[in-house]
Amino acid sequence: MGESERGEAAPRVRVGFWCANGHDTRIAFAHDVEVPETWDCPRCGLPAGQDQDNPPPPPRIEPYKTHLAYVRERRSDEDGAALLEEALQRLRARRGA
């Protein structure tokens, strides 16, 4: 399929993006669109910016949190002890102990 069948190609501008690993990626954009500040590097997946000397830093990866870790963020040890005691009292009352 040539240009005669598809029509003329839109004017393009090639923009370079660099990631923290030093990978250089050249992306062609239509001349009349807004070029994004960052682009995902196709080689390593890190964010890439247009400033070769100052690429965006790699994203900070949060470690996996367990359910207990999330609970501990919301409740203090004293709250947990009070809730446990309340639950044990209800259980004992239900059992008739």
Neighbouring C-alpha atoms within 13 Å toward the C-beta of 7 = 2
Give this prediction's pTM. Answer: 0.58
Options 3.40.50.1370, 3.20.20.70, 1.10.645.10, 2.20.28.270; CATH for 10-49 is 2.20.28.270
- List all residues 6 or more positions away from 43 whose beta carbon is below 8 Å from its beta carbon: 19, 21, 23, 25
pLDDT above 90: residue 28: yes
Say if residue 68 carries a ligand binding annotation: no
pLDDT above 80: residue 4: no
Say if residue 34 carries a ligand binding annotation: no
Say if residue 67 carries a ligand binding annotation: no
